[in-house]
Amino acid sequence: MKEPESLLREARGILREKFLAADVGITGANFLVAETGTSVIVTNEGNGDLTQTLPKVHIVLASIEKIVPTLEDMSQILRLLARSATGQEMSVYTTLSTGPRRKSDPDGPEQYHVILLDNGRSTMLGTEFQDMLRCIRCGACMNHCPVYQAVGGHAYGWVYPGPMGAVLTPTLIGVDKAGHLPNASTFCGRCEAVCPMHIPLPKMMRHWREREFERHLAPSEYTSNLKLWAWFAKRPPMYRFAARLAATSLRLLARRRGRFSTLPMAGAWTKDRDLPAPQGGTFISQWKRQRGSRR
């Protein structure tokens, strides 16, 4: 197995040449500062700095909600970003670019272009989803989300995963295509509690569910399974019996391996990952046991 240092040396040897040979470098931006025309990128690896200083042309492609009024505003939010994203006081590289290289500059691009991307963002203004435009993509909501931790980022199927993706993606590609995302939430509220921009994510996911319901977009198997669940939920003894039966059968079926690579009706899950078999008893039986031991 290669040591991290030798992997780094190898990657650097190959990639550095590509950075040096590139005509154009394209970056995003964590912030765009209106008062100075500055684009700001934050990385821990320095890859963004190579991209924007070595090639002759630097193109910044960023969505409109990245614009903040002043440098002072940017510096306030920057502190929140590093702290909420990786728990750092400050990211390793924070680079501010304001135009092409000047005569006295030792390096930098000869041309500097900023492309502003709307792509549906302005339609969020004045709606119940407007607060989402405050998102600084720190990722704290994802890191604390029990659903994201279980399913991983690819399961969200588009650019933005986690709770912020569950709100943003239906806005950008339509609730008819992404209505399942706001449904993939336990509404535990951890995402909202950790969000440094105080974005009410669960409330907005609820709004998407309402819209999906109003437009009758929920798939039929989803509504029929919910009806089945509601039937059991209204009959507690039956519910407890069925939950116990399902948990025990799945545990016995999984045997010593403790997980399933395939399972009927769970194909969407097992296509990309194993499904852990239930461990221990049902929630109710564990709760009863705990309550008994406290007495």
Residue placing its CB nearer to ligand SF4 in the complex, 198 or 295: 198
Footprint (CB under 6 A) of ligand SF4, residues 78-117: 84
Residue list 177-196, contact with ligand SF4 (CB under 6 A): 195-196
Q: Does 29 bind ligand SF4 (CB under 6 A)?
A: no
Residue with tokens 């704290």: 140
Is residue 74 involved in binding ligand SF4 (CB under 6 A)?
no
CB of 137 to ligand SF4, least distance (A): 5
Q: Is the dihedral of CA 242, 248, 253, 257 positive or negative?
A: positive
Does position 197 interact with ligand SF4 (CB under 6 A)? The reply is: yes
Smallest separation, CB 114 to ligand SF4 (Å): 22
- CA nearest neighbour of 86 among 32, 44, 46: 44
d(C-alpha 286, C-alpha 254), whole Å: 21
Residue 137 near ligand SF4 by CB under 6 A: yes
- Smallest distance, ligand SF4 to C-beta of residue 162, A: 7
Cα 82 to Cα 89, 135, 284, distances in angstroms: 6, 14, 41
Query: Using the rule CB under 6 A, which residue among 60, 140, 145, 166 binds ligand SF4?
Result: 140
For ligand SF4, give the closer residue by CB, 28 or 99.
28
Least distance CB 129 / ligand SF4 (angstroms) = 12
Is 133 near ligand SF4 (CB under 6 A)? Answer: no
Among residues 33, 82, 124, 138, the one that binds ligand SF4 under rule CB under 6 A = 138
Instruction: Tell me which of 50, 164, 172, 254 binds ligand SF4, using CB under 6 A.
Output: 164
Binding-residue total with ligand SF4 (CB under 6 A): 14
Stretch that binds ligand SF4, among 6-14, 55-63, 109-117, 133-141 (CB under 6 A): 133-141
Looking at 138-146, 151-159, 209-217, 221-229, which segment touches ligand SF4 (CB under 6 A)? 138-146
DSSP, residue by residue, the chain: ---HHHHHHHHHHHHHHHHHH-SEEEE--SEEETTTTEEEEEESSSHHHHHHHSSSEEEEEEEGGGEES-HHHHHHHHHHHHHHHHS-SS-SEEEEE-SSPPTT-SS--SEEEEEEE-TTGGGGTTSTTGGGGG-----HHHHT-HHHHHH-GGGG-SS--HHHHHHHHHHHH-HHHHTHHHHS-----HHHHH-TT---HHHHHHHHHHHHHHTT-S-HHHHHHHHHHHHHHTSHHHHHHHHHHHHHHHHHHHGGG-EES--TT-HHHHTTS-EEPP-SS-HHHHHHHHHHHH-
Cβ 66 to ligand SF4 shortest distance, Å: 12
Q: Using the minimum distance from each CB to ligand SF4, give the nearer residue, 112 or 160.
A: 160
For tokens 């950790």, the residue is: 194
Q: What minimum distance in Å lies between the beta carbon of 57 and ligand SF4?
A: 30
Given 54, 136, 181, 204, the residue binding ligand SF4 (CB under 6 A): 136
Measured from the CB atom, the residue of 57 and 77 that comes closer to ligand SF4 is 77
Q: Which residues bind ligand SF4 (CB under 6 A)?
A: 84, 135-141, 164, 195-197, 199, 201
